Amino acid sequence: MGETQTISASDFKARCLDILDRLASRTLTRVTITKRGKIVGVLLPPDHEADAVKQLHGFMRGSVVVPEGVDLTAPIADETFSAGDGVLHQ
């Protein structure tokens, strides 16, 4: 696992590209940026691509429950719609 580094904002400005490369290669795992001794930012390496895809696709999987006996393909309206007659705006 890589190292953690604390760096001043002025040093970060001078070494930004090198620090970003080290984060991407995971030789750094966290960079804390300070300004006048106070933390102003924290940089972390990006998620591995596979982990990022897992978080994005299917993140709500299992969060919806359909009660037993409910037919999701059955029509829900008893009346006809005017769009079926070609009337789009009333």
- CA torsion through residues 52, 56, 57, 63, sign: positive
Domains and CATH numbers, the chain: 1-61 (3.40.1620.10)
Q: Does residue 32 contact residue 6 with C-beta atoms inside 8 Å?
A: yes
Return mean pLDDT, the chain.
Answer: 87
* Identity of the residue numbered 3: E
* Distances in whole angstroms, Cα of residue 23 to Cα of each of 14, 15, 18, 35: 16, 12, 9, 20
Question: In the prediction, which pLDDT does 9 show?
Answer: 95
Q: Does residue 1 contact residue 28 with C-beta atoms inside 8 Å?
A: no
What six digits make up the tokens of 27? 């030789």
Question: In the prediction, which pLDDT does 59 show?
Answer: 75
